[in-house]
Amino acid sequence: MITYQTKEVKVKQVVSYGGHNITANGLINLTLKATYSELVNTIQCTQMLNNDVTIAAKIGGKPKSLGIFRIKSIDISGDGESKIKFTGDTNYVETDLVNSLPLNTDDVKEFKVIYKADVEYEVEVDEDTGEIVD
């Protein structure tokens, strides 16, 4: 028998700001860029597709939550650099914090982020014992 379980997935990554915009209907699109050295972390983000992703950015002090987003797309170029595009509703996003992300013209362009999502996955359960089958 197949059943579903949920686990929290966390991915830490060093990124640079790739821009954002806010649409007339209240959606915010955010792009974060990562270098080749962060490719493994980018690939780990694919398990968060179609789930609410909470993004916290560490700029200076403690990580601050930017809000809740969904992954819109993940683009990986031939040299291993990646762009992760997120979309979210401005009701669930701290737009002031998004506006304060370091620009490419700043002294320190890169910053750390933590992505968190509750991901559902399938597990097979033995019908007789009720135990998870490996």
Residue 50: give its domain's CATH number: 2.40.30
DSSP state letter for 103: P
Question: The domain containing residue 106 runs over which residues?
Answer: 2-133
Query: What domain count does the chain have?
Result: 1
In angstroms, the Cα distances linking 4 to 37, 70, 72 are 33, 21, 24
In angstroms, the Cα distances linking 20 to 31, 71, 76, 95, 119 are 6, 14, 19, 10, 26
- Cα 7 to the center of its chain, rounded Å: 15
DSSP state letter for 81: -
Per-residue pLDDT at 112: 96
Residue 22, strand partner residues: 28
Per-residue pLDDT at 47: 94
CB-CB contact of 52 with 89 (8 Å): no
Per-residue pLDDT at 71: 98
* pTM of the shown model: 0.87
Q: Of all helices (H) and strands (E), which one includes residue 99?
A: helix 95-99
Per the rule left: phi > 0, alpha: psi between -120 and 50, beta: everything else, 130 is left
Give the residue from 35, 40, 109, 42 showing the smallest Cα distance to 79. Answer: 35
CB-CB contact of 54 with 65 (8 Å): yes
Mean pLDDT by 10 residues, the chain (134 residues): 87 96 96 97 96 94 94 96 97 94 81 95 80 75
Per-residue pLDDT at 60: 79
